Protein backbone atom coordinates (compact mmCIF):
# COMPACT_ATOMS: atom_id res chain seq x y z
CA UNK A 1 0.00 0.00 0.00
CA UNK A 2 1.45 3.36 -1.03
CA UNK A 3 2.29 5.89 1.66
CA UNK A 4 2.30 9.67 1.42
CA UNK A 5 5.11 11.34 -0.49
CA UNK A 6 7.75 12.68 1.89
CA UNK A 7 10.11 15.62 1.45
CA UNK A 8 12.94 15.68 3.99
CA UNK A 9 15.61 18.26 4.71
CA UNK A 10 16.58 21.25 6.80
CA UNK A 11 14.53 24.28 5.83
CA UNK A 12 12.10 22.50 3.46
CA UNK A 13 9.18 24.04 5.38
CA UNK A 14 9.86 27.23 3.44
CA UNK A 15 8.94 25.43 0.20
CA UNK A 16 5.29 24.92 1.12
CA UNK A 17 4.22 28.21 -0.46
CA UNK A 18 5.76 27.10 -3.76
CA UNK A 19 3.90 23.78 -3.49
CA UNK A 20 0.59 25.55 -2.97
CA UNK A 21 1.27 27.90 -5.87
CA UNK A 22 2.02 24.91 -8.11
CA UNK A 23 -1.26 23.35 -6.96
CA UNK A 24 -3.05 26.60 -7.88
CA UNK A 25 -4.53 26.75 -4.38
CA UNK A 26 -7.03 29.57 -3.95
CA UNK A 27 -8.31 29.14 -0.40
CA UNK A 28 -5.96 27.36 2.02
CA UNK A 29 -6.81 26.25 5.55
CA UNK A 30 -3.75 26.13 7.83
CA UNK A 31 -4.36 24.00 10.93
CA UNK A 32 -2.22 24.23 14.08
CA UNK A 33 -2.44 24.50 17.87
CA UNK A 34 -1.96 27.58 20.10
CA UNK A 35 1.60 26.63 21.08
CA UNK A 36 2.93 25.85 17.61
CA UNK A 37 1.21 28.97 16.27
CA UNK A 38 3.73 31.07 18.21
CA UNK A 39 6.82 29.08 17.15
CA UNK A 40 9.21 29.22 14.20
CA UNK A 41 7.57 26.47 12.11
CA UNK A 42 4.37 28.50 11.78
CA UNK A 43 6.38 31.67 11.22
CA UNK A 44 8.15 29.97 8.32
CA UNK A 45 4.86 28.69 6.90
CA UNK A 46 3.28 32.14 7.04
CA UNK A 47 6.34 33.74 5.42
CA UNK A 48 6.35 31.15 2.65
CA UNK A 49 2.65 31.55 1.89
CA UNK A 50 2.85 35.35 2.00
CA UNK A 51 5.84 35.33 -0.33
CA UNK A 52 3.92 33.32 -2.92
CA UNK A 53 0.74 35.38 -2.52
CA UNK A 54 -1.33 32.47 -1.19
CA UNK A 55 -4.71 33.27 0.37
CA UNK A 56 -5.01 31.36 3.64
CA UNK A 57 -6.88 31.22 6.94
CA UNK A 58 -5.40 29.82 10.17
CA UNK A 59 -7.27 27.59 12.62
CA UNK A 60 -5.13 27.50 15.78
CA UNK A 61 -7.49 25.91 18.32
CA UNK A 62 -6.58 22.24 17.95
CA UNK A 63 -6.66 20.44 21.30
CA UNK A 64 -3.88 18.01 22.17
CA UNK A 65 -5.22 14.43 22.40
CA UNK A 66 -8.38 15.42 20.49
CA UNK A 67 -11.80 14.71 21.93
CA UNK A 68 -15.02 14.37 19.94
CA UNK A 69 -16.18 17.84 21.03
CA UNK A 70 -12.89 19.53 20.04
CA UNK A 71 -12.96 17.73 16.70
CA UNK A 72 -16.53 18.93 16.09
CA UNK A 73 -15.52 22.50 16.94
CA UNK A 74 -12.82 22.30 14.27
CA UNK A 75 -15.17 20.70 11.72
CA UNK A 76 -17.89 23.30 12.25
CA UNK A 77 -15.29 26.04 11.80
CA UNK A 78 -13.95 24.47 8.59
CA UNK A 79 -17.19 23.67 6.78
CA UNK A 80 -18.20 27.22 5.78
CA UNK A 81 -14.59 28.02 4.80
CA UNK A 82 -14.74 25.41 2.02
CA UNK A 83 -10.94 25.28 1.67
CA UNK A 84 -9.43 23.75 -1.46
CA UNK A 85 -6.19 22.68 0.30
CA UNK A 86 -5.32 21.94 3.94
CA UNK A 87 -1.93 22.45 5.58
CA UNK A 88 -1.38 20.90 9.02
CA UNK A 89 1.51 22.26 11.11
CA UNK A 90 2.04 20.42 14.39
CA UNK A 91 2.10 17.00 15.98
CA UNK A 92 -0.16 14.02 15.49
CA UNK A 93 -3.14 15.72 17.13
CA UNK A 94 -2.98 18.61 14.66
CA UNK A 95 -2.52 16.38 11.62
CA UNK A 96 -5.33 14.03 12.67
CA UNK A 97 -7.67 16.96 13.32
CA UNK A 98 -6.87 18.40 9.88
CA UNK A 99 -7.72 15.04 8.28
CA UNK A 100 -11.13 15.10 9.98
CA UNK A 101 -11.77 18.75 9.06
CA UNK A 102 -11.05 17.80 5.46
CA UNK A 103 -13.27 14.70 5.52
CA UNK A 104 -16.30 16.27 7.18
CA UNK A 105 -16.09 19.41 5.04
CA UNK A 106 -16.37 17.29 1.89
CA UNK A 107 -19.22 15.36 3.55
CA UNK A 108 -20.80 18.51 4.94
CA UNK A 109 -24.06 16.73 5.79
CA UNK A 110 -22.51 13.86 7.75
CA UNK A 111 -22.66 13.57 11.55
CA UNK A 112 -19.41 12.68 13.30
CA UNK A 113 -20.57 9.10 13.95
CA UNK A 114 -20.94 8.29 10.24
CA UNK A 115 -17.29 7.52 9.50
CA UNK A 116 -16.16 6.33 12.93
CA UNK A 117 -15.09 2.70 12.77
CA UNK A 118 -17.65 0.14 13.93
CA UNK A 119 -18.83 -0.72 16.50
CA UNK A 120 -18.42 2.80 17.92
CA UNK A 121 -19.77 4.38 14.74
CA UNK A 122 -21.47 3.52 11.46
CA UNK A 123 -18.24 2.80 9.56
CA UNK A 124 -19.55 4.54 6.44
CA UNK A 125 -17.19 4.12 3.47
CA UNK A 126 -15.39 7.19 2.12
CA UNK A 127 -16.35 7.19 -1.56
CA UNK A 128 -15.56 10.80 -2.52
CA UNK A 129 -12.16 12.38 -3.19
CA UNK A 130 -10.99 14.68 -0.40
CA UNK A 131 -9.06 17.95 -0.63
CA UNK A 132 -5.25 17.74 -0.78
CA UNK A 133 -3.59 17.82 2.66
CA UNK A 134 0.03 18.81 3.26
CA UNK A 135 1.32 17.71 6.67
CA UNK A 136 4.27 19.47 8.34
CA UNK A 137 5.08 17.56 11.55
CA UNK A 138 6.75 19.37 14.44
CA UNK A 139 7.28 16.16 16.42
CA UNK A 140 9.05 12.94 15.44
CA UNK A 141 7.27 9.74 16.29
CA UNK A 142 3.54 9.75 15.48
CA UNK A 143 3.98 9.25 11.72
CA UNK A 144 0.54 10.77 11.08
CA UNK A 145 1.96 12.49 7.98
CA UNK A 146 2.11 9.06 6.29
CA UNK A 147 -1.10 7.34 7.41
CA UNK A 148 -4.78 7.22 6.59
CA UNK A 149 -5.92 7.22 10.21
CA UNK A 150 -7.24 9.96 12.48
CA UNK A 151 -7.62 9.12 16.17
CA UNK A 152 -9.62 10.88 18.89
CA UNK A 153 -11.55 10.18 22.10
CA UNK A 154 -15.28 9.47 22.29
CA UNK A 155 -15.92 11.01 25.68
CA UNK A 156 -19.37 9.49 26.27
CA UNK A 157 -18.02 5.99 25.66
CA UNK A 158 -14.69 6.66 27.37
CA UNK A 159 -13.03 5.09 24.35
CA UNK A 160 -10.33 6.02 21.86
CA UNK A 161 -11.50 5.47 18.31
CA UNK A 162 -11.18 7.13 14.95
CA UNK A 163 -11.56 7.03 11.20
CA UNK A 164 -9.35 5.00 8.90
CA UNK A 165 -9.27 5.13 5.11
CA UNK A 166 -6.58 5.50 2.47
CA UNK A 167 -8.27 8.70 1.20
CA UNK A 168 -7.31 10.41 4.46
CA UNK A 169 -3.58 10.13 3.78
CA UNK A 170 -1.79 13.45 3.27
CA UNK A 171 -0.72 14.18 -0.28
CA UNK A 172 2.69 15.30 1.01
CA UNK A 173 4.56 15.16 4.29
CA UNK A 174 7.19 17.89 4.75
CA UNK A 175 9.65 16.58 7.36
CA UNK A 176 11.97 19.40 8.39
CA UNK A 177 14.42 18.52 11.21
CA UNK A 178 14.49 22.19 12.22
CA UNK A 179 10.83 21.95 13.24
CA UNK A 180 11.56 19.52 16.07
CA UNK A 181 14.03 21.81 17.86
CA UNK A 182 11.27 23.33 19.99
CA UNK A 183 9.92 19.93 21.06
CA UNK A 184 10.13 19.48 24.86
CA UNK A 185 12.87 17.09 25.99
CA UNK A 186 10.36 14.76 27.66
CA UNK A 187 8.34 14.52 24.45
CA UNK A 188 11.47 13.85 22.40
CA UNK A 189 12.43 11.05 24.78
CA UNK A 190 8.95 9.50 24.67
CA UNK A 191 8.77 9.64 20.89
CA UNK A 192 12.24 8.11 20.66
CA UNK A 193 11.23 5.15 22.80
CA UNK A 194 8.03 4.76 20.78
CA UNK A 195 9.88 4.71 17.47
CA UNK A 196 12.53 2.35 18.83
CA UNK A 197 9.90 -0.10 20.04
CA UNK A 198 8.01 0.13 16.76
CA UNK A 199 11.19 -0.63 14.83
CA UNK A 200 11.82 -3.68 16.98
CA UNK A 201 8.28 -4.95 16.57
CA UNK A 202 8.38 -4.57 12.78
CA UNK A 203 11.84 -5.93 12.10
CA UNK A 204 10.36 -8.06 9.36
CA UNK A 205 12.14 -11.14 8.16
CA UNK A 206 14.72 -11.19 10.95
CA UNK A 207 12.03 -11.09 13.63
CA UNK A 208 9.90 -13.62 11.76
CA UNK A 209 12.81 -16.05 11.51
CA UNK A 210 13.52 -15.67 15.23
CA UNK A 211 9.88 -16.39 16.11
CA UNK A 212 9.77 -19.42 13.82
CA UNK A 213 12.96 -20.78 15.37
CA UNK A 214 11.57 -20.21 18.86
CA UNK A 215 8.34 -22.03 18.05
CA UNK A 216 10.24 -24.89 16.41
CA UNK A 217 12.30 -25.36 19.56
CA UNK A 218 9.11 -25.46 21.64
CA UNK A 219 8.23 -28.71 19.93
CA UNK A 220 4.81 -29.82 18.76
CA UNK A 221 2.73 -26.65 18.45
CA UNK A 222 -0.68 -26.11 16.80
CA UNK A 223 -0.57 -24.89 13.21
CA UNK A 224 -3.59 -23.47 11.47
CA UNK A 225 -6.98 -22.57 12.84
CA UNK A 226 -8.13 -26.20 13.08
CA UNK A 227 -5.33 -26.93 15.51
CA UNK A 228 -6.73 -24.15 17.70
CA UNK A 229 -10.16 -25.79 17.77
CA UNK A 230 -11.90 -24.07 14.88
CA UNK A 231 -13.86 -26.03 12.26
CA UNK A 232 -14.91 -25.27 8.69
CA UNK A 233 -18.38 -24.60 10.07
CA UNK A 234 -16.99 -21.69 12.11
CA UNK A 235 -15.85 -19.70 9.07
CA UNK A 236 -19.06 -17.68 8.68
CA UNK A 237 -18.88 -16.61 12.33
CA UNK A 238 -15.20 -15.72 11.97
CA UNK A 239 -16.05 -13.54 8.96
CA UNK A 240 -18.89 -11.78 10.79
CA UNK A 241 -16.64 -11.19 13.79
CA UNK A 242 -13.97 -9.64 11.58
CA UNK A 243 -16.20 -7.20 9.69
CA UNK A 244 -16.62 -4.69 12.60
CA UNK A 245 -12.83 -4.21 12.76
CA UNK A 246 -13.10 -1.31 10.33
CA UNK A 247 -9.97 0.53 11.45
CA UNK A 248 -7.89 -2.43 10.29
CA UNK A 249 -9.85 -3.56 7.26
CA UNK A 250 -10.09 -0.11 5.67
CA UNK A 251 -6.30 0.04 5.45
CA UNK A 252 -5.99 -3.49 4.03
CA UNK A 253 -5.04 -3.37 0.33
CA UNK A 254 -7.31 -5.28 -2.01
CA UNK A 255 -10.38 -5.62 0.21
CA UNK A 256 -13.59 -4.37 -1.40
CA UNK A 257 -14.87 -2.32 1.54
CA UNK A 258 -17.67 -0.74 -0.50
CA UNK A 259 -19.00 -4.16 -1.63
CA UNK A 260 -19.68 -6.13 1.55
CA UNK A 261 -20.59 -9.44 -0.10
CA UNK A 262 -17.34 -9.46 -2.07
CA UNK A 263 -15.45 -8.45 1.07
CA UNK A 264 -17.05 -11.35 2.96
CA UNK A 265 -16.01 -13.75 0.23
CA UNK A 266 -12.42 -12.48 0.37
CA UNK A 267 -12.34 -12.95 4.14
CA UNK A 268 -13.95 -16.38 3.82
CA UNK A 269 -11.18 -17.50 1.45
CA UNK A 270 -8.58 -16.13 3.86
CA UNK A 271 -9.98 -18.17 6.74
CA UNK A 272 -10.29 -21.27 4.54
CA UNK A 273 -6.61 -20.99 3.61
CA UNK A 274 -5.75 -20.57 7.30
CA UNK A 275 -7.50 -23.73 8.43
Comparing C-alpha atoms, which of 202, 221, 201 is closest to residue 213? Answer: 221
Nearest to 36 by CA among 196, 163, 198, 176: 176
With respect to CATH, is domain 5-195 assigned 2.40.50.140?
no
Q: Where are the beta strands (DSSP E) in 204-251?
A: none
pTM of the predicted model as reported, rounded to 2 decimal places: 0.71
Give buried/exposed letters for 146-171 (b at 16+ CB in 10 A, else e): bbbbbbbbbeeeeeebbbbbbbbbbb
Identify the pLDDT of residue 254: 59
Q: Give the N- to C-terminal CA distance of the chain in Å, as an integer.
A: 26
For residue 7, list its beta bridge partners.
174
Tell me which residue of 43, 110, 108, 114 sits closest to 81, measured CA to CA: 108
The per-residue pLDDT for 251 is 59
Task: Please answer whether residues 20 and 54 qualify as being in contact, where contact means their C-beta atoms are separated by less than 8 angstroms.
Answer: yes
Instruction: Give the residue extent of every domain in the chain.
Output: 5-195, 219-274
- φ/ψ (deg, to 5) at 135: -105, 130
For residues 123 and 117, give the distance between their C-alpha atoms in angstroms, rounded to a whole number. Answer: 4
Phi, psi (degrees; rounded to nearest 5) at 200:
-65, -40
pLDDT average per 10 residues of sequence, the chain (275 residues): 82 98 98 97 98 98 96 98 98 97 98 91 93 96 90 90 94 95 74 65 72 81 83 89 70 61 84 88
Rounded Cα gap, residues 49 and 15, in angstroms: 9
Classified as helix, coil or strand, 82 is: coil
Query: What residues form DSSP beta bridges with 30?
Result: 58, 87
Amino acid sequence: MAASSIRFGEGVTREVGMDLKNMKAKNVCVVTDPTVDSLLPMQHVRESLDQEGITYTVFNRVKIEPKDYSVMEAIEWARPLNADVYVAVGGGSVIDTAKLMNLYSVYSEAPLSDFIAAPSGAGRPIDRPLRPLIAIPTTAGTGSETTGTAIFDLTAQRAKTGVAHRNLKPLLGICDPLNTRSMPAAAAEAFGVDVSNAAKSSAGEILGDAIREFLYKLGDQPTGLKALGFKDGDIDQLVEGTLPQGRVLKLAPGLKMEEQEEEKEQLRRLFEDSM
